[in-house]
Amino acid sequence: MDDLTLSDYVNRSKDRVLGSLIDWLRIPSISADPGHAGDIASSAEFCAEMLRSAGIENVELLSAGGVPAVYGDWLGAGSMAPSVLVYGHHDVQPVDPLDEWAAPPFEPTVKDNVLRARGASDDKGQVIMQIEAARGLLGALGDLPVNLKFLIEGEEEVGSPHLDELLERERERLSADVIVVSDTTMLAPDIPSTTISTRGLIAFDVGIRTAESDLHSGIWGGTVPNAALVAAGLAAGLHDSDHRVTLPGFYDRVRELTHREAQSLADTPFDRVEFCRQAGVKELEGEAGRSPYERTGTRPTAEVVALHSGYGGPGMKTIVPATANLKIAVRLVPEQSADEVDASFRAWVAGQAPKYAEVTVTTVGGVAPLMTPIDHPAVRILGEAIENVWGKQPLFTRSGGSGPEEALGRILEAPVIFLGIGLADDNYHAPNERLELNQLWRGTVAAGQLLLGLRSLNSR
Ligand SMILES: [Zn+2]
């Protein structure tokens, strides 16, 4: 089995695969809306059927807090062969604002080799790519080079609230030597890339009270504490004039990049004007002395995500606000510990807030960072598969986001690698989500190549 045979298979299968994907995309599997629970169930069933028809065995719906994840495996490679777990998700983001869609989100359209629909690239297209790679290999070889397992989750878009529990419960069945995630993007069709890390996340909800109730600004203003000012002071104090986070010890564990990583980052093309245009901003700001990609992928950040106080309705209400609320999200990079940042944040708030303010800090979430070393054998094999198909060595990037990959790696104790074929302008989570079909076809060949390459990985 080589590249050519796989490409041949993909070429012969395009109409059928596209037909299946379109049928799947018609199912509005929006996990955020309980009204779509029936669609989540239909979507899981649809996915299960695709796995079965591809030759995957033991296909089953696994309940995660009542929401179906899809499992299936093919274990015919024997106990000496490595096991590979493919992860993706079949739920999709909500679709509003609906009036910004050029066509209804669940009525897929294909034009100029681009498929448009909610879920096209995030993540149904990338899941079907993995299923088709397995189908192609099974069809051509009659077996697979590795033991292959699929876990296709149904609540990724709402933060995977039951994934840890599911992974703990099914740890044995899901155990693998490597986890392949197909739910990310590449830099561009002619700049193949793969992610080697995701950032961690810890968030804080800070409640502030400076009086028993709001006070009249004419009678009391100018002589009593103002909760809005306390919140604004905390928000403003979070960074210094170099935009470095002021939490004590915040950067202590942050390591500089290895030479190869720094080189990959330096080779990553960056268009400042386009970057600003995509963000819809006039200027960039952030940690001094660091490039934008360094800041979003390799450096920890603290963002004020909400700041509320006083009266926000129409007109004016002349008060001194008694309460304020501040929410801060901190993204962590490898080696940082969510617990240490939690302690540091609490100590910092206690030191910054005036004594007259009652301040409560609630920690929300806590996802650890994930990192697969750039020189890990599985990363090398993935790099070769991508290079075979795209004709260029991939750049190694770091994802700024935080996702379920960390739980997969931590609980299943296996390295996580990313074969993601989405593109930056695929409108993830936004109106007019799209998938470039060439990326899908190339990705299918690469997914097959990857399985062939992973055969040489040591099984544990
Ligand atoms: Zn996704």
**DSSP states of 266-293 as a string?**
HHS---HHHHHHHHT-S----STT--HH
CA distance 231 to 195: 36
Task: Count other Cβ atoms within 10 Å, centred on residue 167.
Answer: 19
Mark residue 106 as left, alpha or beta (left: phi above 0; alpha: psi -120 to 50; beta: remaining).
alpha
| Structural domain ending residue among the three candidates 312, 332, 367 | 367
Q: What is the pLDDT of residue 401?
A: 83
**401 and 350 in a common domain:** no
Query: From the CA of 417, how far away is ligand 1's center (Å)?
Result: 15
Q: What is the pLDDT of residue 366?
A: 78
**129 and 27 in a common domain:** yes
**433 and 345 in a common domain:** no
Query: From the CA of 444, how far away is ligand 1's center (Å)?
Result: 18
Average pLDDT, the chain: 95
Residue 282 lies in a domain: no
**116 and 67 in a common domain:** yes
Q: What is the pLDDT of residue 284?
A: 96
Residue 207 lies in a domain: yes
Q: For residue 261, what are its two tokens?
A: 């990583």
Burial zone of 385 (CB within 10 Å; 0-12 exposed, 13-18 middle, 19+ buried):
buried
Domain that holds residue 335: 200-254+300-367
Q: What is the pLDDT of residue 425?
A: 86
Query: From the CA of 184, how far away is ligand 1's center (Å)?
Result: 7
For the segment 331-371, what is each residue's pLDDT rounded down to a tens digit?
Answer: 999 889 899 999 999 999 999 999 999 999 999 877 889 99
Residue 286 lies in a domain: no
State CA 244 to chain mean position distance.
Answer: 25
**346 and 227 in a common domain:** yes
Query: From the CA of 91, how far away is ligand 1's center (Å)?
Result: 8
Given a cut of 50, the residues of the chain with pLDDT beneath it are none
Q: What is the pLDDT of residue 150?
A: 98
Task: Count other Cβ atoms within 10 Å, centred on residue 324.
Answer: 25
CA distance 208 to 327: 11
**407 and 317 in a common domain:** no
Query: From the CA of 89, how far away is ligand 1's center (Å)?
Result: 7
Query: From the CA of 157, how far away is ligand 1's center (Å)?
Result: 7
Query: From the CA of 152, how far away is ligand 1's center (Å)?
Result: 11
Q: For residue 297, what are its two tokens?
A: 């992928």
Residue 294 lies in a domain: no
CA distance 266 to 413: 31
Query: From the CA of 361, how far away is ligand 1's center (Å)?
Result: 31
Query: From the CA of 122, how far away is ligand 1's center (Å)?
Result: 4
CA distance 127 to 335: 31
Residue 289 lies in a domain: no
| Structural domain ending residue among the three candidates 317, 342, 367 | 367
Query: From the CA of 119, how far away is ligand 1's center (Å)?
Result: 8
Q: What is the pLDDT of residue 3?
A: 63
For the segment 32-73, what is each residue's pLDDT rounded down to a tens digit?
Answer: 999 999 999 999 999 999 999 999 999 999 999 999 999 999
Number of domains in the chain: 2
Residue 277 lies in a domain: no
Query: From the CA of 429, how far away is ligand 1's center (Å)?
Result: 9
Q: What is the pLDDT of residue 354?
A: 97
Nearest to 353 by CA among 247, 227, 263: 227
Query: From the CA of 456, how far away is ligand 1's center (Å)?
Result: 29
Helical H segments across 280-336, by residue range:
292-293
**216 and 173 in a common domain:** no
CATH for 120: 3.40.630.10
pTM: 0.88
